[in-house]
Amino acid sequence: MRTIDQLKQIKADFTAKRQNKDKVRVIIGMGTCGISAGAGPVFEIIKDAVDRYELDNIEVHPTGCIGMCTYEPIVEVKEPGKPTVTYIHVDSKKAEEIAKTHLKGGKPIAEYSVGGNLGSLEEMKFYQKQKRVALRNCGVIDPEIIEEYIYKDGYMALAKALNEMTPSQVIEEVKKSGLRGRGGGGFPTGMKWSFAAPNEADQKYVICNADEGDPGAFMDRSVLEGDPHAVLEAMAIAGYAIGATKGFIYVRAEYPVAVERLNIAIGQAKKMGVLGKNIMGSGFDFDIEIRLGAGAFVCGEETALIASIEGFRGMSRNKPPFPANKGLWGKPTIINNVETLANVAQIIMKGSNWFRSFGTAKSPGTKVFALGGKINNTGLVEVPMGVTLREVIYDIGDGCPNNKKFKAVQTGGPSGGCITTENLDTPIDFDNLVAIGSMMGSGGMIVMDEDSCMVDIARFFLDFTADESCGKCTPCREGTKRMHEILDRLTGGEGRPEDLTTLKELATNIKETALCGLGQTAPNPVLSTMNHFPEEYEAHANERRCPAGVCKSLIRYEIQDNCRGCTLCFRSCPVQAISGKIKEQHVIDTSICTKCGICMSVCKFNAIKKF
């Protein structure tokens, strides 16, 4: 068991170690994004080189997602008294050179660094409008060393709650902060806790919902990988507030790095005495277990998640009763998602007024977004609520690649809707996004440019939700399939004018009659794209034409009169659909053309057009 004084001493000792002027820290982004880009070999090469060169003054540490996934693998060299040098797109060859030339020889390599001028990521435009609260430690600390978390004031909020606050005071502080659930619904967190606290029971539970299933979303995964102790501390605080002694983290098995680091963190926290029996001598007990999900999107819905933990098939049930009254195994239960919990410790430490000092009146604090799609700067972004979509997409994301025009952004994943240029100056918060036909969701933000087909985008999301339906209620089970069939017809060249009326009627009925949030929001991408881009739907249904030239069944390639007969297209066609003589105009046989577009890409005379 550790006391508060012992935690403070650990922080003091670690601070002295960090301030050692002879120590150099090398930080390597080892979140899933970095690992998939090749950070694993980079880490091993640099670590082996440090040992080989006997560089005793250099520490090499993994960290979580640094944020700018576009630049992975990322290596940061932090020398006391000197600006941080950030190396980007580091491969095995660069890693060896960095170790030899910079770490051993003391000469930074400008050409491998940000901007080619020994810059750091913090100087980039990408970070200028961000404010990191939930992500404050991600990309900063080594998530596998508990002392690094304590060095950043970790577990001090839990100590404050246990020693200076009553459970009701903790709930009241979270209430006053205005923290709303970051998992999609935006329900006030403190209010949810207050519903569970007065319920008498021999056992209560706290569940962390880490079943992040939205396509393109990776916020929760990154927090778990980069700052797992923040979630553990918040769950313990929530347990103290409502009188729960047991917590579960429900995380999908597809997140092996997050699961590994959570297991390490739980073991360390128990050994340190900040989890388990009689935490910090307070008399409060709280323990946490991990439960792995099989990747069912519906288990992001709280009652389906509870069913899964209990060992049943993940299917939603009617509410009430709500989990705060009758949840896991019939006991009072609160469920918060990862990002929501990542804010809790700082609210307790710094106070509700601090949290309300940024964001908007109805949506205080920040929101983390996974910025992806047709955008130059993909990555993890945390901004104060109230920042506009234009600022996120252009100032942080740097617009669409190849100077393409922005067309729309999908927020809220398959549960959200498309937002177009006319609403780019909308301040981002829960209520504003709903007002323009979308929603916050968990934080996925997928950008589309002028080459995107909005009917095909809607089909993509319906394919996902129809497949992920648990099948319990008829509107979702049958209705999403029928909608997907219509969208398949429209994008497959078999659309009919009456399809548009049927599609809208189906979407409206499903939205009003489905049992849970999955079915109720599944029609959103269809309704929003039909509302903003009716001409694209009409072209698919009435003219059997795809204006964006995306739907293969609705496009054709033709060789124009300016063909020089160079035969390059003929030689490049994988199915021999092109014929013609040298120096004469060639012809495409549309009956065997696979519409791969290779001919158009290799033509040097712009003689092949797509219609």
Locate the DSSP E strands across 189-286: 205-210, 246-252
> What is the fold of 22-128?
Glutaredoxin (3.40.30)
Distances (CA, A) of 22 to 72, 81, 128: 28, 10, 31
Short-list 234, 220, 443, 447, CA closest to 337: 220
Do 556-610 and 454-543 fall under one CATH topology? no
DSSP code for 87: E
Q: In angstroms, rounded to a whole number, what is the distance separating the alpha carbons of residues 589 and 233?
A: 65
Beta-strand pair 58-63/75-78: unpaired
> What is the fold of 454-543?
de novo design (two linked rop proteins) (1.20.1440)
Q: Which residues pair with 206 in a beta bridge?
A: 247, 334
Phi, psi of 527 (to 5 degrees): -65, -40
**pLDDT for position 412:** 85
Taking only the tens place, the pLDDT of each residue in 483-492 is 999 999 999 9
Q: In angstroms, rounded to a whole number, what is the distance separating the alpha carbons of residues 565 and 240?
A: 78
Percentages of the chain per state (helix, strand, coil), in multiples of 5: 45, 15, 40
What's the whole-number average pLDDT of the chain? Answer: 94
Alpha helices in 446-553, H assignment, sequence order: 454-468, 474-491, 498-513, 517-521, 524-532, 534-538
Query: What SS3 class is residue 290?
Result: strand
Query: What SS3 class is residue 287?
Result: strand
> 444 or 263: which carries more pLDDT confidence?
263
Q: Do residues 261 and 220 make contact, with C-beta atoms less than 8 angstroms apart? A: no
Taking only the tens place, the pLDDT of each residue in 524-572 is 999 999 999 999 999 999 999 999 989 988 988 999 999 999 999 999 9
Q: In angstroms, rounded to a whole number, what is the distance separating the alpha carbons of residues 209 and 211?
A: 6
CA angle 188, 190, 194 (to 5 degrees): 115
CATH class (in words) of the domain with range 366-449: alpha beta
CATH class (in words) of the domain with range 154-354: alpha beta
Cα 180 from chain centroid?
18
Short-list 308, 307, 310, 311, CA closest to 319: 307
Segments making up each domain of the chain, as ranges: 22-128, 154-354, 366-449, 454-543, 556-610
CB within 8 Å of 559: residues ≥ 6 apart: 569, 578, 580, 585, 586, 587, 588, 599, 607, 608
Taking only the tens place, the pLDDT of each residue in 96-105 is 999 999 999 9
| pLDDT reading at 1 higher than 60 | no
Alpha helices in 54-124, H assignment, sequence order: 92-97
Taking only the tens place, the pLDDT of each residue in 220-245 is 999 999 999 999 999 999 999 999 99
Distances (CA, A) of 377 to 126, 132, 471, 491, 503: 8, 17, 38, 30, 35
Q: Which secondary structure element, helix H or strand E, spans residue 381, and what is its range?
A: strand 379-384
Query: What SS3 class is residue 56?
Result: coil
| pLDDT reading at 444 higher than 90 | no
Beta-strand pair 24-29/58-63: parallel
**pLDDT for position 35:** 97
Taking only the tens place, the pLDDT of each residue in 41-98 is 999 999 999 999 999 999 999 999 999 999 999 999 999 889 999 999 999 999 999 9
Q: Do residues 465 and 480 make contact, with C-beta atoms less than 8 angstroms apart? A: yes
DSSP letters along 563-585, please? -----HHHHH-TT--EE--TTS-
Domain 556-610 has CATH 3.30.70.20: yes
